[in-house]
Amino acid sequence: MPRLGMTLDAIRAIVGGGEIVGSPDFVCESVASLGRAGPDQLSFVKDQRYIDSARSSRAGALLVPVEIGDFRGNQLIVAEPYRSFGVLLSKIAEEQRRQPKEVHPRAEVHESAEIGTDVCIGSGAVVREDARIGDRCVVHANAYVGQRSILGADTTLYPGVVVLEDVSVGDRVLIHGGTVIGSDGYGFMQHEGRHLKIPQVGRVVIGCDVEIGALTTIDRATLDETVIGRGTKIGDLCHIGHNCRIGEDVLILPTVAISGSVTVGDRVVFAGRSGCADNLTIGEGAVLGGTAVAFKDVPAAASMWGNPARDKTLEMRIQAALRRLPEMQRDLRAVKKKVDL
């Protein structure tokens, strides 16, 4: 159970203000979802759609967008309850995941590596030659940081993360378990009837405030840089090919595959299982819906669906027509029968 142990007044201070209806001294021992919260727990009402559910909640206190007149518990009225609840969850997560500020005796840290202050390096972790680990970084057990790679301040590598050589990771980056950064790009050519490997000797550069999900792979560039822009969030089981340049604040949902040498503009959204072919440009603010696959450039702010990806309105018309195919087939057979007669 996520522990909190704070008064409603203290919570108000943490989330940046709000109006309390009830007792400021009520202690929220922990947090829970709206439907499961008990008398000593805090939950939240995301927006007006959940007001009716809130009235029947057993929660001792709620973060709410407006006062709920017939709710029996305490209320903290804030402009954005979901955001405020997220602030509290961040505090809880920080406490739950706090690590000792030490280099574990079973870690292998090369003497030429540069280690910042208040760093945690876990058991079995490896930090190679000339690597740099920034202040307050956490390198969990069995993670790997390769030669000449850099981790910015406050960055966390969860267990089993592999950051290979010549990778630059910014500040406040979070990389989940099993992810590999800097693996070879898929580069081969035909030579005398066999596949000849083209070595990938470029870099990966990851900006600040990026989060990368579990079991994701980001390939290094052939010669230059694969770039992930500031604030981009990448889900689990994704693949980003070599030489890609991903913009800022891009959302890449789980199981997305982006082929090599793709340029992605700022604030693009790749929904789950979507992707694109190589050497394309995805314009700023574009959206690729779930399972959509782009085989040509996507204009800025476009909304694309389907495989191959098409304008959303056109794809919806095509899908509507497909649902009528059995009926259309019967009509066509009937007409054909009359014509044959």
Rounded distance between C-alpha atoms, residue 318 and residue 321, angstroms = 5
Spatial separation of the C-alpha atoms in residues 76 and 89, rounded to whole Å = 16
Task: Look at the block and give the residue holding tokens 């057993």.
Answer: 58
DSSP state of 73: S
Q: Which residues contact 36 (CB under 8 A, 6 or more apart)?
A: none
| Annotated catalytic residue 104 | no
Cross-strand partners of 218 = 181, 240
Cα angle: 160, vertex 166, 167; to 5 degrees: 55
Tell how strand 239-240 and strand 257-258 pair up.
parallel
Cβ neighbours for 188, distance < 8 A, ≥ 6 positions apart: 195, 196, 197, 198
> Using an 8 Å Cβ cutoff, are 129 and 112 in contact?
yes
Handedness of CA 309, 218, 159, 101 (dihedral sign): negative
Task: Find the distance separating the first CA and the last CA of the chain, reported in whole Å.
Answer: 75
For the sheet with 41-44, list strands across it: 3-7, 27-31, 41-44, 61-64, 74-77, 19-21
Q: ∠209-212-216 over CA atoms, to 5°?
A: 160
Rounded-to-integer distance, Cα 21 and Cα 12, Å = 12
Please give the positions annotated as active site: 242
